[in-house]
Amino acid sequence: MPGYDTSELVCLRCRDERTRCFLNAVSGRPYARCVKIRRLAKEGTMTESTNEFETDDIIEEPAVVAPHTIDRRGFLRGVGATALLGSLAALGGCAPAAQKEPANAEAVAEPLSVDGTEDCDIVIVGAGGSGLAAAVEASEAGARVICVEREAAAGGGEAGVEGIFAVGSRMQEQEGVTNLSTGALIRRELEAAQQRVNGPRYVDMVHNSGENVNWLLDHGVTFMSVDADNGTEKVFHRFEDDKGAVGYVPHMLKAAEDAGVDFRYNTLAKQIVMTDGKATGVIVIDEGGKSIQINASSVIVATGGFAEDFEMVSKNDINTEDAVYVGMPGHDATAHNMLIAAGAKDYTQNTAYLMALAVRGLPGYFEGGKFSFLIGVAAPYSIWINENAERFVNENFSQVNAMLMTVPTWPNKKTHILMDQAMLDIYMNGEQSAVDQLNDGLASGEVLKADTVEALAQAMGVDATALADTVERYNSYCAAKDDADYGKEAEFLMDFGTAPYYGFHVTPDVQVAIGSIQTDRNFNAITDAGDSIEGLYVVGVEGAMLWSNIYTINIAGGANANNVNSGRMAAKHALSRL
Ligand SMILES: Cc1cc2nc3c(=O)[nH]c(=O)nc-3n(C[C@H](O)[C@H](O)[C@H](O)COP(=O)(O)OP(=O)(O)OC[C@H]3O[C@@H](n4cnc5c(N)ncnc54)[C@H](O)[C@@H]3O)c2cc1C
């Protein structure tokens, strides 16, 4: 297993613990994009003296590929008719009417010359959760599979995944969990989504889930428990060590390698080869910078979404100005754009997000942060204000779903969470690490502290009169035990009046964009007209249509259940075409 050593799970550079620095659990080596290192570097607090390692020790992002000279003969050889039409039209400044303009149109439309070709039965793009499931399914059935992965090792976002949803698994049988109603689970999820998601896709995912987890068990995937996670039913199958980097990725990678899958790391897929409206391969830039066309009867794209591309994210009306990407590397919009250029239908108007609130500069969700992630759900007695010093929500709203936490803040220019000393004392609960983090926040200026409401307003840069009005109004609701504006439960209505006062400037930590391309029930990409694109499959979160704008996590581990299910279903369908 190249680049994968589970005995060394500590980032050698930031020396963080594996539970807090899972990016490096994948490589076991210092990683240029370790969350902590990136944050320190951004803040300018990582200096030469704290960096004990030479830069050579750091695995850099895949080298920027030198622009290819447009070689018309190579280009004609390399791409099929549909791609050619689109590319030539784009060169002439006149894209075909049916073709959408991808966000990064130039990069996609650039026709790629080809330095060489290879053949296989099925080519898979992405060696994360869904790509590995597809690779194992296809290769064990005898297909010749090439799996290209842009990063130096397999894993993707799956390395950080805690577990997977299932009903009817052997683990549940052993625990005596046998009375779950699949219909009730699906109904609840569809109702939570206001019926704006794909019903049949839920039926497939839920009904296949037990067999899928049994299949994972048969392939050596290791779990530590089946529990309810943040829900009410015991459906969450928790990976060993609470992360896919330990429980899922190494075992599925080994199964795929044992079955003969040819993994190509540091290899970026750039263009789908289209021939007579069918996908017949993919053009990749390999480790050495060569452009290779891999011909196959089917292409399965398992690329994990575009959350790293904030231009795309901001199209969902999310103010990304102060946001930070904290997901795994390798999730820009290259794959999305490549699929749109191949004629696939856009789903980004419905993209849902795995996203949390954070106080910039303080330890984040994966680093045991007291004021990041938790602050959105664990301080319902606080007051949330926007840049106009207005409340805008019942501060207890995200109790029903932690993934709602950032949603009402999306359009805000600035969001502050306010606590007075009495509230903060409850929140800190006497924890020394919380005190340390608070002091760091005060020192960096992301947490403001003042003895009066007026001074706090000035420190936060909001109108002092407006804030005084908001506080007065809120305190009157506390006295009346009735939040006349947002209906916050009386038990969380706490008078804001014990100085000093604190304002926590919170911004989104963006982890995963879920849903970017529309697919049919076999996970074939579809065109704008709704027709399936033969030979082209989009699986995992890139092709997920189970969420529409909101990541409803009532079915704990549902995204990962979809990763495995979509990977397997697409592989089976691709096998039927051989
Ligand atoms: C920290 C974290 C925790 C999560 N926890 C859970 C959980 O507990 N339960 C749950 O259900 N879901 C969870 N999710 C959500 C979701 O299940 C994961 O994001 C999961 O990794 C998605 O699987 P995937 O196969 O779609 O993408 P990934 O696992 O991210 O794999 C995509 C792969 O494709 C590669 N790639 C991308 N573009 C290209 C390209 N152009 N060429 C070649 N390779 C490319 C990437 O480098 C990556 O390795 C979590 C996500 C994160 C980030």
Supply the DSSP string of 163-193, one letter for each residue: EEE-SS-HHHHHHT-----HHHHHHHHHHHT
pLDDT at 83 over 60: no
304 lines ligand 1 (CB under 6 A): yes
**Nearest atom within ligand 1 for CA of residue 132:** 25
Q: What is the pLDDT averaged over residues 452-481?
A: 98
Rounded distance, CA 132 to CA 148, Å?
Answer: 11
Confidence of residue 44 (pLDDT cuts 50, 70, 90): low
> Which range in 95-104, 342-351, 391-400, 429-438 is most confidently predicted, on average pLDDT?
342-351
Residue 515 Cβ < 6 Å to ligand 1: no
Position 43 scores a pLDDT of 53
Question: What local confidence, expressed as pLDDT, does residue 401 receive?
Answer: 81
CA of 246 to the centre of ligand 1 (A): 15
H or E element at residue 292? strand 291-295
Give the C-alpha distances (Å, rounded to integers) separating 470 from 239, 363, 384, 407. 45, 30, 10, 21
Q: Is 533 in the pocket of ligand 1 (CB under 6 A)?
A: no
Residue bearing the CA closest to ligand 1, atom 49: 156
Q: What is the ipTM of this complex?
A: 0.99
Domain ranges of the chain: 354-510
Give tens-digit pLDDT for 352-384.
Answer: 999 988 898 888 766 778 887 777 788 999 999
For all residues of the chain together, what is the average pLDDT?
A: 83
126 lines ligand 1 (CB under 6 A): yes
Other CB atoms within 10 Å distance of the CB of residue 218: 10
Q: Where is pLDDT greater, at 431 or 279?
A: 279
Query: In Å, what is the CA distance from 451 to each residue of 114, 420, 476?
Result: 66, 10, 21
The pLDDT > 90 percentage for the chain reads 70
Q: Quote the ligand 1 centre to 273 CA distance (angstroms).
A: 24
Mutate which of 136, 161, 239 to test ligand 1's pocket (most atoms within 8 Å of Cβ)?
Answer: 161
Ligand 1 contacts CB of residue 543 (under 6 A): no
Residue 302 Cα: closest atom of ligand 1: 25
Looking at per-residue confidence, does 3 or 234 come out higher? Answer: 234
Q: Quick one: 493 exposed, middle or buried, by C-beta within 10 A (0-12, 13-18, 19+)?
A: buried
Q: State the Cα–Cα distance between residues 419 and 381, nearest whole angstrom.
A: 8
User: Bigger pLDDT: 365 or 139?
Assistant: 139
- Residue 502 is inside which H or E element, if any? strand 501-514
Length of the chain: 578
At 267 the pLDDT is 97
Confidence of residue 73 (pLDDT cuts 50, 70, 90): very low
Residue owning tokens 């004609």? 76
Residue type, 486: Y
Q: Is 540 in the pocket of ligand 1 (CB under 6 A)?
A: yes
129 CA → ligand 1 middle, Å = 6
3-state SS, one letter per residue, for 220-276: CCCEEEEECCCCCCCCEEEEHHHCHHHHCHHHHHHHHHHCCCEEECCCEEEEEEEEC
* Residue 204: closest CA among 574, 569, 576, 575: 569
Residue 302 contacts by C-beta under 8 Å, 6 or more apart in sequence?
A: 124, 125, 126, 127, 128, 129, 130, 131, 134, 538, 539, 540, 542, 567
Give 220-243 pLDDT, tens digit per residue. 999 999 999 877 899 999 999 999
User: What gap in Å lies between CA 551 and CA 34, rounded to an integer?
Assistant: 25
Does the beta carbon of 512 sit less than 6 angstroms from any atom of ligand 1?
yes
pLDDT of 109 reads 56
- According to the model, what pLDDT value does residue 110 have? 60
Q: Where are the alpha helices (DSSP H) in 461-516?
A: 464-480
Interval 308-334: pLDDT, tens: 999 999 999 999 988 888 889 999 999
Task: Indicate whether residue 30 lines ligand 1 (CB < 6 A).
Answer: no
pLDDT band at 85 (very low <50, low <70, confident <90, very high): very low
Is residue 12 over pLDDT 50?
no
Q: Does position 105 have pLDDT exceeding 80, yes or no? A: no
- In angstroms, rounded to a whole number, what is the distance separating the alpha carbons of residues 236 and 230? 9
CATH class for the region spanning 354-510: alpha beta
Residue 269 half-sphere exposure toward CB, CA atoms < 13 A: 30
Residues 532-545: what's their mean pLDDT? 98
Residue 144's pLDDT band (cuts 50, 70, 90):
very high
CA of 352 to the centre of ligand 1 (A): 14
Task: Locate all alpha helices (DSSP H) within 448-557, ordered by sequence.
Answer: 453-460, 464-480
Does any ligand 1 atom lie closer than 6 A to the CB of residue 559?
Answer: yes
Q: Is the CB of 163 under 6 A from ligand 1?
A: yes
**Mean pLDDT value of segment 17-32:** 35
Please calculate the CA angle 129-325-48 and round it to the nearest 5 degrees: 110
SS3 109: helix
Q: Are 35 and 366 in contact (CB under 8 A)?
A: yes
Measured from the CB, is residue 151 less than 6 Å from ligand 1? yes
pLDDT at 76 > cutoff 50 = no
